[in-house]
Amino acid sequence: MDLIYYYLPALETIRDFMELGGGVLFVIGYLTLFMWILIVERLVYIRTGHKRLAGAAQQLWEGRTDHKSWNAHQIRTRLISQVSAQVERNIPLIQTCVALCPLLGLLGTVTGMVEVFEVMAISGSGSPRSMASGVSKATIPTMAGMVAALSGVAMATYLQRKAGRERELLADHLVIGHK
């Protein structure tokens, strides 16, 4: 019960920030959460499942007696492709989430500016106090979208490079023509 009171100020701060940014900020938040779930899933897969799959492909290749024929080359290519497809799975979806974050931030900018113009039309003046809410709704989602995209860009690049390295490593392990 004490933990709730310990984290309550932080939760209130997050709630206030989300309200200050408007509805688009919630969409950016959910998209960022989804993107990071995919990123963590890929990281876990690379550390655990990929090693098993690559090992199974290598065992299957080493168990073959023929490594020199055209058919053997096609089987090798298929094994590399299947393992690579698994390690690269969801990376395009992560990259799509990265691209959507700044676009949603821009949507927040537009909706915030619409609110500023509505206030100006109703009040008939450019009073800074009356426009402050709309300006915050215009700038906060833009900032949040850019921060979310930056965090995703770094991880998407890492995952893409790691997938390429794993593909090359597997291709090196499936030696052609030794039997």
Instruction: Provide the whole-model pTM.
Output: 0.78
CA 149 vs CA 23, 80, 102, 159, 174: distances in Å: 18, 31, 6, 15, 37
What local confidence, expressed as pLDDT, does residue 70 receive?
Answer: 87
The arithmetic mean of pLDDT across residues 146-155, rounded, is: 92
CA 71 – CA 176 distance, rounded (Å) = 12
Burial classification of residue 3, based on how many CB atoms lie within 10 Å of its CB (0-12 exposed, 13-18 middle, 19 or more buried): exposed
The C-alpha torsion from 97 through 103 and 106 to 107, rounded to 10°, is: -90
The angle formed by the CA atoms of residues 97, 139 and 17, to the nearest 5 degrees, is 80
Q: Which residues of 101-119 are buried (b: 16+ CB within 10 A; e: fewer)?
A: bbebbebbbebbbebbeeb
The tens digit of pLDDT for each residue in 102-142 reads 999 888 888 878 777 777 777 766 666 666 666 777 788 88
Residue of 33, 57, 54 lying closest to 45 (CA atoms) = 54
Kindly list the domain boundaries of the chain, sorted by start residue. Answer: 2-173
**Phi and psi at residue 66, in whole multiples of 5°?**
-100, 120
The arithmetic mean of pLDDT across residues 93-106, rounded, is: 93
